[in-house]
Homo-oligomer: A and B are copies of this chain.
């Protein structure tokens, strides 16, 4: 029986990863850990998966070590992080230290317990690339990293440490730089579900047309369906090369304005947007697009769910 430990279990990606494991119809045992319990029901998965959940503060080394020593995972999907870029500006030291410390706690515990064969997927972010020029798109993994926020620096540090640990302590750590993932159940503070919610609210209010307030909608981002993402994560956990980093992205750039247009079309009302300068982030990249050639070439992963389908599913779930 394969054993997966998932940190940051209670979030949006943890839930989709659990869904994915459930779909495999294999003998799998899952231990979820998070600082808060999941808001979703575990019972719907228990027909095929053996699942337990533990409240664990990953900053507390002893708590974490007990869970790892007891569960002895074959795979760790390390989703947990202090992932708000905005928060990292308010509390740069705390954000940096906490992100690197929870990662170091995981690796130290694995070494101390002697779980040398446990494979760890450390989930990073396209934020690591920092400010990029149009000529450098689509971004490949060998692109120099110029992190521009404390959060991004923490992620790059974690990557460099992983590489050192993989090369020198034979640890099986695989890394991602994940681009904007979207899908059902995403927190509505994120940009795409926030657009969708506001358009749905206009519809619910009986409007046939309306306006929403946004930041700069000409910026281009690489949106990838979270269900494609979790499939990539399992491929990397089971078959990725230790010490290597892989982009997870759609490979396509989408202006935010087109996302709004698609949402309007799906919901069936005419929506325009008005730019509120307060929402425009001056340092934002104009465009971020990744290349998934590395994971496609090595493992055959391809994004499969078209953006239109992702948006339809999100709106159906939110309606």
Among listed A94-102, A188-196, A198-206, interface-contacting one: A94-102
Cα distance A160–B168 when bound, in Å? 23
Interface residues of A in 66-98 (CB under 8 A from B): 89, 92-93, 96-97
Interface size of A by CB at 8 A reads 25
Interface residues of A, dominant DSSP: helix
Among listed A12-20, A27-35, A142-150, A269-277, interface-contacting one: A142-150
Write the nearest CB–CB distance from A116 to chain B, whole angstroms.
15
A residues sitting closer than 8 Å to B (CB atoms) are 89, 92-93, 96-97, 100-101, 104-105, 107-108, 144, 147-150, 153, 156-157, 160-161, 164-165, 167-168
Report B-chain residues with C-beta under 8 Å of the C-beta of A149. Answer: 164
Report B-chain residues with C-beta under 8 Å of the C-beta of A144. Answer: 144
Cα distance A141–B100 when bound, in Å? 25
Write the nearest CB–CB distance from A243 to chain B, whole angstroms.
11
Q: Which of B92, B97, B156, B167 contacts A148, CB < 8 Å?
A: B167
Cα distance A107–B89 when bound, in Å? 14
Report B-chain residues with C-beta under 8 Å of the C-beta of A167. Answer: 148
26 pairs, CB–CB < 8 Å, chain A vs chain B: A89-B168, A92-B104, A92-B161, A92-B164, A93-B104, A93-B105, A93-B107, A93-B108, A96-B100, A96-B104, A96-B157, A96-B161, A97-B104, A100-B157, A144-B144, A147-B160, A149-B164, A150-B161, A153-B157, A153-B160, A153-B161, A153-B164, A156-B157, A156-B160, A157-B157, A157-B160
Cα distance A89–B147 when bound, in Å? 26
Query: Which residue of B has the minimal Cβ distance to A151?
Result: B164
Cα distance A93–B106 when bound, in Å? 11
Write the nearest CB–CB distance from A266 to chain B, whole angstroms.
38
Write the nearest CB–CB distance from A133 to chain B, whole angstroms.
15
Write the nearest CB–CB distance from A165 to chain B, whole angstroms.
7
Report B-chain residues with C-beta under 8 Å of the C-beta of A156. Answer: 157, 160
Q: Which of B100, B105, B147, B165 contacts A100, CB < 8 Å?
A: B100
Report B-chain residues with C-beta under 8 Å of the C-beta of A150. Answer: 161, 164
Write the nearest CB–CB distance from A141 to chain B, whole angstroms.
12
